[in-house]
Amino acid sequence: MERGVLFDGQPDWLAHTLATVDHSCAEASTILPGGRLVRQGTGLLQFEPGQPVNGAPALLLSAGVHGNETAPIELLNRLVDNITTGVLRPRIPLLFMLGNPPAMVAAQRFVEHNLNRLFQGAWKDYPDGYETRRAAQLEATCQAFRDRHPGPLRHYDLHTAIRPSRREKFALYPFVEGRQVPGTELAFLTEAGIGTLLLQHQTATTFSSFTSESLGAESFTLELGKVHPFGQNDPQTIAKLEKALIRLVQAQPAPDIATDQLPETFEVVHEILNTGEHFRFHIADDVANFTEYPPGTLIWEDDTTEYRVGPEPEAIIFPNPKVPVGHRVGLMVRQRFGE
């Protein structure tokens, strides 16, 4: 394939994405031995197989919703590179998305607004800016893909974190009333080297929440370890995930996974919100995700309310007191046993 057809002379998709953040990127397409690859805009690629496997779920893959989370960005770029060179021939429809290219260029989490809080139409409630427009574009792109492929749909939104974690890789399953995690997805997480699953407790405005609630996808936010600059990631740290995704896109049979190998499951028991100027957060700035606290530990308080750990130990994830009033400071979670 003439790689310049889609990448305008750039060496790969990532380089093209970083080079086109300041101007519009027209649609372009090319025919590959196994199907058709369409560039739908900056950081947006769709693959349509010539002979798709009947009944196999279509797949949305996103990374870079936070621009400095580079390991999964590089993973998607490797998959695209293997498709364009013919090394990988997908048998299912695919949509690849690099969420926040300007933040990727700036090596920042976001430019103006946290993109992963702007979905489910939440972008309408913020001042106009790149991230609000990008959230609307990503929603529309995913909706068009869903309209084209009304059958089973999966979405994996890939992230890494600045904060360390006592459980390095974990998955978040968006809340949808009455829904349970399918066994096939639990097995995929195990295959991908993700040993912890967190069940979210309420609807949210994250990307995976949008695709699960509005598009009916089996969606997960996957947290895959530590943030590093471009070029400083060790691909071996997410090699199991990469291998599992390659199997999925080729619609190959899943490996057998024993029940006792499935992820350990946690559930949210309390969402910590910044209540205003009198809010006091009693968690150290450098605490790792999934740090556990014994019953009775004071987690936060203000002049009228306090939260203490209940009768069983609870762990904290995503602690960040430097958020606006009304925004999430962290989540208290508890392990489920006998799942």
- Greatest CA separation for the chain: 66
The span from the CA of 24 to the CA of 95, in Å, is 19
Is residue 159 within 8 A of residue 165, CB to CB? The reply is no
Give the angle subtended at the CA of 24 by the CAs of 20 and 25, to the nearest 5°: 70
Cβ neighbours around 102 below 10 Å, total? 18
Please choose, from the candidates 219, 227, 202, the residue with its C-alpha nearest in 3D space to the C-alpha of residue 289. 227
Question: Which residues 6+ apart lie within 8 Å of 139 measured at CB?
Answer: 119, 121, 210, 214
Is residue 211 within 8 A of residue 60, CB to CB? The reply is yes
Strand 58-63 to 153-161 pairing:
parallel
Structure tokens at 273: 């919100």
DSSP 8-state assignment for residue 314 = E
The span from the CA of 253 to the CA of 247, in Å, is 8
In the block, residue with structure tokens 């370890």: 225
Q: Does 223 participate in catalysis according to the annotation?
A: yes
Residue 182 identity: P
Burial 138-173 (b: 16+ CB within 10 A, else e): bbebbeebbeebeeebbbbbbbbbeeebebbbbbbb
The span from the CA of 172 to the CA of 178, in Å, is 16
Cβ neighbours around 206 below 10 Å, total? 24
Please choose, from the candidates 283, 321, 281, 314, the residue with its C-alpha nearest in 3D space to the C-alpha of residue 296. 314
Which of 74, 185, 223, 242 is catalytic? The answer is: 223
The span from the CA of 35 to the CA of 90, in Å, is 8
Give the CA count within 13 Å in the CB-facing half-sphere of 23.
Answer: 4
The residues that are catalytic are 223
